Amino acid sequence: MPLKIHCFQQAPFEDPGYIKDWIDKKGHSLSYTRFYKDFELPSIYDYDCLVIMGGPMGVSDEDKYPWLADEKKAIKEAIENNKKVLGICLGSQLIASVLGARVYKNPETEIGWFDVSLTEEGHKEDLLDSFPSTFKVFQWHGDTFELPEGARHLASSEVCKNQAFIYKENVVGLQFHFEVTHDSLEQMLDGADDELRDAPFIQSKDDIQKNSHYINETNQKMHLILDRIIK
């Protein structure tokens, strides 16, 4: 049966990418709240699943982005009403914050293609069944989060412990970008290229583009996760 999926988009250059491709393939519908424009939040009865995208702002930047307060309330309402909720990058941090966990500056900013490894819990998790122990992901974040109480810790990287979690069976947070496509990658590189400074875990634009062959592999993993949580 077709499902109604709603997307919270924080910035024009961070769209749902492959998630939209998957939605189209499955025959589901997709609606948006674009917070960088005039926006209206949906009723909790208007959707079955909520997807929360990334953005350049931080969870606590409500002075600069006052809509963050409304967004957090909407995310909390979705979780309390047992909606299926998927958060990407900032989206995962917003979920963690709503669930009472601390969000803070990561020791290193990660931008580029890096390895992520499954935790012991991640190896046992049905959501990640058939995933290898270590795999490449696209990263673009400076903040991280503590694991929310009751959540299962699924993945970590060399410089960021909490890369993925699942809360109950319907709420998933991914710090990394399985959804990135060739087009959305270029949008991110153009939209936030000022962040590509010289640092140990920030790759150059050229290196990021040279490694874009990982996109097909990461999209396949995004496909599997979506199949398993949105059904």
- Active-site amino acid positions: 89, 177, 179
* Nearest C-alpha neighbor of 118 from the set 3, 31, 221: 221
Bridge partners (DSSP) listed for residue 50: 6, 85
Q: pLDDT (tens digit, 9 = 90+) per residue, 69-128?
A: 999 999 999 999 999 999 999 999 999 999 999 999 999 999 999 999 999 999 999 999
What 8-state DSSP symbol labels residue 57? S
**Any idea what the CATH number is for the domain that residue 140 is in?**
3.40.50.880
Domain count, the chain: 1
Count the residues in the chain.
231
Read off the pTM: 0.97
Residue 59 DSSP class? T
Domain range enclosing 81: 4-229
CA distance 231 to 226: 8
Give the orientation angle of helix 67-80 with respect to helix 90-98, to 10 degrees: 70
* pLDDT tens-digit map of 36-68: 998 999 999 999 999 999 999 999 999 999 999
Q: Residue 91 class from Cβ within 10 Å (0-12 exposed, 13-18 middle, 19+ buried)?
A: buried
